[in-house]
Chains A and B, each alone.
Chain A
Amino acid sequence: MKKRILSFLLLIAVLSTVLCGCGDGSAAAGSGSAQSTGSAGAAVQGGEITVGIAQDLDDSLDPHLAVKAGTREILFNVFEGLVKPTPNGDLEPAVAEKYEVSPDGLTYTFTLREGVKFHNGAAVTADDVVYSIKRCADSSEGEPLVAAFSVIQSVEAADSRTVVIKLSEPDNEFLSYMTTAIIPKDYKDEATAPVGTGPFKFVSRTAQDSIVLEKFDGYWGTPAYLDKVTFKIIENADALLLALQSGSVDLCVHLTPTQVSQLGSGDYNIEEGTMNLAQALYLNNAQAPFDNEKVRQALCYAVDKQQVLDLAFDGYGTPIGSSMYPKLTKYFDDSLTDYYTQNIDKAKQLLKDAGYPDGFSMTITVPSNYQPHVDTAKVLVEQLKAIGVTATIQPVDWNTWVSEVYTNRNFQSTVVGVDASYMTARAMLERFQSSADNNFINYQNADFDALFQQAAAAKDDAQRIDLYKQLEKNLTEHAASVYIQDLADLVALRSDLAGYQFYPIYVMDLASVHYVQ
């Protein structure tokens, strides 16, 4: 009797485990290149897709005020600036047709393109451009919305099609900030019903459910292929996978390697790009023992980056050595990646020299909503044990992370990915100046500050690139943090879709996505 019950229970247990374990098999990997790939075939105009996203856009939809990266990557389809980024990392004219920079670098003259319309039908005028830029440069309430705009001395409409911007000092990367969205001057509802000039127009937002964009027929450039894109919000990672498998979601970006391996074979392709961020064990340089450079270097020698990638990410990801990601090819210094190779003896020696022969204990604060960072921290804990450092993981929710770690700098170490909102090397490095507002790791290095000033003032492209590389080297040599990787951006798209392009910044471009025959 008892045996029968036992075997029955065992059967149920086994069944449930088997059912959950099903759906394995390796992912049907795509070509994995950074450019647009997918099924071959003739591109079809029209059609609708549903994109699955893991977080709601519970943010202001105003492009100048939207804070979350997840919001901004979608708004990329709705707004454009005077110039816009290309997948290759260049800037192409958008709302502006052409531009000129004066020889002294202080005057930028933009000629607006004819026939550019806002989504509400109004034509874009120079006044709208002046309004948008002035809004972002306004420093009457403290820092301007776009920090780089603090060098703007004046913005004026020379005539209905020309805008002249004068700077107080030359800024060799100023053009990259001209991707700032142009919005209509007299429109009041940007935060909830945004209106821009991009290939898609905003249709609706249902809280915690979906956001709908539709193709803008009055777009000045190559129109989007798709007629409509619905972003479905599915916070739960497993539910997102089920939605992909059931066909209710056609495209999903930023998948984790675990999700990809669970997808199994099916009618979708997996494409691999990069997230374009610098994931690291960021150390609070103002707190002991991390104020001691030797200690920080010891941690760098203790960590094996490839092992982190293999254990936590199935091998996906690109190791990095400093605060720069590989897709910014001009500025990325490859040699820094292996500056610190795992060397336990050296690490222990450095700790001894620093006065911690028996190691020490530390806390790693991680934002619990970002599984990749949590997983990385777990591997790091194990690796640090080898040199006698006992690390404890302290998971906190995102808002607590932002207020405690990022704003109040009340932490010892944290694992997070830092990205750049503008496609400039400067954006990845400017926070490490001693006096920077967002210098959350409290990095203090006089050489770095001096080099940064020189880089900002450099006239020559080659000179500037060299200086930025020196800045990266500075961060590596002085072990500002333990740099690990640029995470892989895994994208699943239904096999009858193609055209997804990876950019060197965090955006989700849907204008090039299309159905194939």
Chain B
Amino acid sequence: MRYAARKLGTLLITMVIVSLFAFLAFSLITGDPATKMLGTEATPEKVAALREQLGLNRPLLTRYFLWLGGFFTGNLGTSYSYSMPVASLIAPKLPVTLTLSLMSFVLIAAISIPLGVRSARRAEGRLDAVCTAVNQLLMAVPPFFSGILFSWVFGVLLRWFQPGGQFPSFSREPGKFLWYLLFPAVSIAIPRIAMTIRMLRSTILREMNREYVRTAISRGNDRAGVLRRHVLKNAMVPVVAFLAQTMAEVIAGSVVVEQVFGVAGLGRLLLGSISNRDWPVVQAIVVILAFWVVLATTLGDLLSQRIDPRLRLGGAS
């Protein structure tokens, strides 16, 4: 219970600090929202008048605390570009990015764990060397590049989906929605699958060289059984931490991939809003992302503790 309360506290504090930093960052970036809204019609007088109207002339901290107050009462402000409440702008995009990230994560976990174990078991040999090389190559494939490639191969050549087509809505066509998101999810997943396989392989191999493994085998246990029952648990701890970090990073991958596939998600909105100096929207999304990262690492911690009781009891690992 105390643990949960502490974690919740950490979450809130992190979100507040991140939002404060974001707020400060906006004041450093050149180009203010008023100038952007007026564009080429901007004159110094018009800009000043608009700034006054938007409340941009009040001191920084005043504006920040006003925003913070609004945030805790559910009022995220109004978008400068679209003149819509930020909450209704973000609401339809949130499940999209969430689904995309979760799908990527599931793909990463589901593919890299069995393959990582396999690769550790079959270590040494020519096949292994080739696989390692291919792995190395795939680690370097940026999601953006593979995204365009997939769009072309599966979209234009094979016609399995239509790039740039009307993005299916989750409520009306859940099947099509998931199918459409599969391709961007794969693009994001590929480099991370490769990294996770490599990591799992090296941790397993390291564990297999330990004393207790040799003891267990000398007492008649077969290698596969030892791997399954003892080694895997120990090897998984760093990998779980890595996967938690990946969960948080997958959001970053989605930002780029959303552009390529025309996915109506948070990433595109974030990029567009930064470019438009639409600070209320950027602020809200940044805080959501902070929440996501802390949540992911917390879940990772919890899972690690389940696997390794020593972490739970606070002992040395």
Contact = CB atoms under 8 A, between A and B. Distances in A.
A329 interface: no
B272 A400 contact: no
Nearest to B272: A208
A239 B43 CA distance: 36
Interface string A427-446: 00000000001100000000
Contact of A209 (B130, B152, B162, B264): B264
Interface in A197-239: 205-210, 230, 232, 234-236, 238-239
B61 interface: no
A239 B167 CA distance: 14
Contacts of A143: 43, 46
B82 A67 contact: no
A360 interface: no
Contact of B42 (A8, A23, A246, A402): A402
B123 interface: no
A371 interface: no
B47 A239 contact: no
Contact of A249 (B81, B129, B164, B167): B164
Interface string B124-152: 00100110011001000000000011011
Contacts of B42: 402-403, 406-407
A205 B39 CA distance: 21
B89 A242 contact: no
A1 B129 contact: yes
* Dominant secondary structure at the A interface: mixed
Given A9-B137, A209-B167, A398 B30 contact: no
A192 interface: yes
Contacts, number: 147
B192 interface: no
A201 B312 CA distance: 63
The interface centre, meaning the residue of A56, A249, A438 with most chain B CB atoms within 10 A of its CB, is A56
B40 interface: yes
A516 B45 CA distance: 52
Nearest to A67: B39
Interface in B150-193: 151-153, 155-156, 159, 162-167
A20 interface: yes
A59 B40 contact: no
Given A191-B83, A402-B31, A58 B272 contact: yes
B43 A142 contact: yes
Contacts of A5: 129-130, 133
B218 to A, nearest CB: 33
A16 interface: yes
A10 to B, nearest CB: 11
B275 A397 contact: yes
Nearest to A8: B130
B152 A19 contact: yes
A141 B162 contact: no
Contacts of A205: 82
Nearest to B167: A209
Contacts of A230: 166
A245 interface: yes
Contacts of A207: 79, 82, 84, 89, 269
A143 B49 CA distance: 12
A269 B43 CA distance: 42
B196 interface: no
B268 A208 contact: yes
A67 B148 CA distance: 32
Interface in A89-142: 141-142
Contact of B30 (A52, A248, A400): A400
A141 B81 CA distance: 22
A371 B31 CA distance: 21
A399 B47 CA distance: 13
A242 B46 contact: no
B301 interface: no
The interface centre, meaning the residue of A205, A245, A438 with most chain B CB atoms within 10 A of its CB, is A245
Interface string B252-269: 000000011110100011
Contact of A60 (B47, B83, B156, B272): B83
B47 to A, nearest CB: 7
Interface in A141-161: 141-143
A247 B83 CA distance: 33
Given A19-B153, A209-B264, A437 B148 contact: no
Interface residues of B, number: 56
Interface in A32-88: 50, 52, 56, 58-60, 67-68
Contact of B84 (A192, A235, A249): A192
B83 A246 contact: no
Interface string B264-304: 10001100100111100000000000000000000000000
A242 B156 contact: yes
Contacts of B162: 243, 246-248
B48 to A, nearest CB: 10
B153 A242 contact: no
A399 B272 CA distance: 12
B51 to A, nearest CB: 12
B35 A239 contact: no
A9 B126 CA distance: 15
A12 interface: yes
B47 A407 contact: yes
Contact of A234 (B31, B82, B155, B262): B262
B35 A248 contact: no
A399 B149 contact: no
B81 A59 contact: yes
Interface in A393-435: 397-400, 402-404, 406-407
A192 to B, nearest CB: 6
A208 B43 CA distance: 28
B38 interface: yes
A49 to B, nearest CB: 13
A12 B42 CA distance: 52
Interface string B31-73: 1100111111111111101000000000000000000000000
A240 interface: yes
A56 B41 contact: no
Given A192-B83, A242-B152, A403-B35, A236 B260 contact: yes
Given A400-B30, A402-B35, A239 B126 contact: no
B133 A232 contact: no
Nearest to A404: B30
Contact of B36 (A23, A234, A402): A402
The interface centre, meaning the residue of A4, A59, A406 with most chain B CB atoms within 10 A of its CB, is A59
Contacts of A243: 162-165, 262
Given A232-B262, A248-B163, A437-B43, 17 more contacts: A9-B133, A20-B149, A58-B82, A58-B278, A141-B49, A207-B84, A235-B259, A239-B148, A243-B163, A243-B164, A246-B155, A246-B159, A247-B162, A399-B275, A400-B31, A402-B35, A402-B39
30 contacts: A1-B126, A5-B133, A8-B133, A12-B134, A20-B148, A58-B276, A60-B83, A67-B38, A67-B39, A67-B41, A192-B82, A205-B82, A207-B269, A235-B259, A238-B148, A239-B151, A239-B163, A239-B260, A239-B261, A242-B164, A243-B165, A248-B163, A248-B164, A248-B165, A249-B164, A399-B31, A400-B30, A402-B35, A403-B31, A406-B40
Task: Kindly list the 6 A-B residue pairs having the minimum CB-CB distance in the complex, ordered from nearest.
Answer: A243-B164, A67-B39, A58-B81, A248-B165, A399-B31, A242-B163
